[in-house]
Every structure is written in C-alpha cells, then in structure tokens.
Amino acid sequence: MQQPKTNNIKTYLLLGIIYLSFIALGLPEGALGLAWPIIRTEMDLPLEMVGIFAIVFSIFYVLVSSQNGWISKYLKTEKMNLLGIVLLVISYFVFSVTPNFTVMAVMTVFVGIGMGLIDTGLNDYMSKHFSSRYMNWMHCFWGMGAAFSPIIMSQMILMFGWRMGYVSIASLQGIIGIVVLISIVKGVWNREQSQKTKVNELIEIKPSGHYLSSKSVVFLQMLLFFLYTGTEGSLGFWIGSVLMESRGLSVEAAGIFPAAYFACIMAGRVVFGFIAGKVGNMPLIRFGMILAAIGIIILTFSNNVMGMALAGLGFAPLFPCLMHETSNRFSADTLSKLVGYQMAAAGAGGAFFSVTIGLSLSHISIESLFPVVFTLTIVVFAMNEALAGKLRRARRHRGGK
C-alpha cells in the first residue's frame, strides 16, 4: 500500500534533479555577451570574432544532438547528463585561466558536446514521460540559470574581472554535478526500471490520433527550431554589446537587460506551466509570439528594460511548448530521433544567427539587431501556424478529431 507514495516521492525527487541540471545548462547563457566587449579588447579581436565560438559550439552540439537516438542506446539519460555537466565544468575552468583565444575556441568543442548531451537527453526524456506543465518548468530552471548568469558575470567584472565570472559559473555547475552523481549512486534515476506504479498526475498520457509524417513536414519542424532558437538566443546574447557599444550604457546598467530577459523567461515558464495543461500549447505559443514582438518594438525605440522583460515573457512558453507539441504532431516511434534532430537544428540556429547577426552589427549597423529579431519572430509565428494547419487537415482527411 505504501508503494505509490514512495514512487510519488521518487518522481518529484527525480524532477528536482532534472531541474537542477537545467540550471547548470543555463548558467553560461548570458555571460559571454557581457564579457565579450572586455575579452575582445584585452585580446585585440574584432566584434564578430565571437562567431568562432558559435560555429565551433554549433558543430559539436549538432553532432551530439543529431545522434541522440544512437547515443541513448549506450548511455542512459542520467549518465549523459552527468558527463555533460563534467565537460562544462572543465571547459569553463579552462576559460578562466587561458590567455589565448585559440584555447577558448578549442574548449568550446567540449561546451558543445556537454550541452548537447544534457539538453537533448533531458528534453527527450521529458517529452516522453511528463506533461507540458513539467516541460515548461524544466525550461524555467534553464531561465533561472540564465538569469543569474549576467548578474554573476557583471558583478565579477566589476570586482575581479571576467575570468572570475567563469570560475564562479564553473563552481556552481560543479556543485550541481555532485548532486547529480549522488542521485545516480542512490538510484533516483532507476524510476523507469524499478517503479511499476506511475504517478498519473505527472505522467503524460498520449492520446491516440493521426500524425504528420512526410519528410517535408519533418524538415519544416526542424527549420522552426532552427529559426526560433536563433531568435531567442540572439536577443539575449547581443543585447549587452548593443547597449554598451551603441547606446553608451555601463557594464552594470547593460547587465540588467539580459538578467531581466532571462528572469522573465524563468518566471513566465513557472506561470505558463500551471496553465499549459488547461490552455494547450498552441494558444500559449500564439500569445507568447505577440508579446515578444511588442517587447522587441519597445527595445527598438528606447532603452526601456520593460521591452526586454516583455520579450522574455513572450518567449517563455515557446521552446517548451514547441518541444511538447512535437509529441502531438509526430508518432512515438519517431520521437527520439526527431527530438534529437530538433535539438541539433536548435543549436545550429543559435550559432548561425549569432554569427550572421554579429556580421550585421559590425558591417551594417549595431542597431540592426532589433529589426532582424523582429522579422524572425514573425517568420517563426507564420511557420508554426502552417504546421498546425497541416496537422488539422491531416486529421480531418483521415477521420481524426
């Protein structure tokens, strides 16, 4: 009679470990954007040289993510997660001590591998076993890590320098890695193998229905993630450089913007997580895109941090809802591979747009960030609506509801 209660506790404990892992994943997110103007001055590098990091990261993130189906046959989710965190800790400690840009670029290889293992493995796991609510909350904790990131880096720059910022980030990731290791030793991750009683309010019961399957639609789904992560990531990454180098804000003042952005992504995912199950993915995606577009318009014409906050709130439900919507659009037998391909596309999109927008900022106008990101937001909105329309037509044609 006590087994369901034990399973319930284990399930919540497992969720806690997963959420901590996503804090570790988010911790570096806003750091480089603030540190780069100082790093490039110290190392005498052009603004767009940061694109090398994005390219190297993307190659190895995409490589790992696209092979998720194969990797998961040999490494369980928890081991993928732990290995990823270890790689991040080592990489950022090396970042903090090297005087050489080339060494930083080489260590970015391991950042890409580490993030690919954590991100793809946990997204795959959550999309299979938990509802949209818990997917939103998982990404909320990424937002928590990302919100602390520019705060940590800006304060370390003011007091000790950018290198101590990376020491702090790596140290926090190391603590989380120790917690993950303990959870593996204690058998917390044995839920799939040992727990026979599922917690119904946590586990997503997938409805039967008709799914999309054509190669063109799969490509469109991947392209959606390619464009979206480029949109969300570019705004968070480049805002600090734009505010400092174009609008004359100090490091401390500029640091408020990415912190507000990621904090609102975090807070939004908490709130949207409560209502995702009742409202559904598509209404939240539509609302979020409109809100984000309004925020970007405000940023285009002012230095009002409210614009950044609205953009963060708007983007908050998008990645988790788009990821969870994948399980509604495509059949379970293709889900693991497709999630891996989506995560690969997401990593490639983040890198591609970091580089191309960096070139735009350097050679056209540093203020071009906002019209580019606004245009991408509209395109993503239109593509998602097209996919939703294809699914409705497919289900009507096949007699689905």
Instruction: Work out the widest C-alpha separation in the chain, in whole angstroms.
Output: 68
Asked whether the beta carbons of 348 and 340 are under 8 A apart, the reply is no
pLDDT at 377: 93
pLDDT at 359: 76
The rounded distance, in Å, linking the Cα atoms of 143 and 244 is 23
pLDDT at 331: 64
Query: CA-based angle 346:348:349, to the nearest 5?
Result: 65
pLDDT at 208: 41
pLDDT at 252: 79
For 149-202, the pLDDT digits (tens) are 888 888 898 888 889 999 999 999 999 999 999 988 888 777 544 333 344 444
Taking the CA atoms of 35, 174, 16 and 280 in sequence, report the sign of the dihedral they define.
positive
DSSP state of 187: T
Residue 154, CA atoms < 13 Å, CB-side half-sphere:
23
The rounded distance, in Å, linking the Cα atoms of 171 and 163 is 12
pLDDT at 210: 44
Q: Is 216 exposed, middle or buried (0-12, 13-18, 19+ CB in 10 A)?
A: exposed
Q: pTM of the predicted model, to two decimals?
A: 0.70
Mean pLDDT in order along the chain per 10 residues (401 residues): 54 88 88 83 80 82 77 82 94 88 90 89 78 77 83 88 91 94 84 40 43 67 87 84 82 83 84 78 90 94 91 89 76 66 78 78 81 92 85 63 46
The torsion angle over the Cα atoms of residues 264, 351, 52 and 252, rounded to 10 degrees, is -10
Token pair recorded at residue 210: 């008709």
Asked whether the beta carbons of 67 and 340 are under 8 A apart, the reply is yes
pLDDT at 386: 86
pLDDT at 211: 53
Q: Other C-beta atoms within 10 Å of 153: how many?
A: 29
Q: For the domain made up of 3-193+211-397, give the CATH fold.
A: Growth Hormone; Chain: A; (1.20.1250)
pLDDT at 7: 59
Taking the CA atoms of 74, 78, 80 and 86 in sequence, report the sign of the dihedral they define.
negative
pLDDT at 290: 94
DSSP state of 200: T
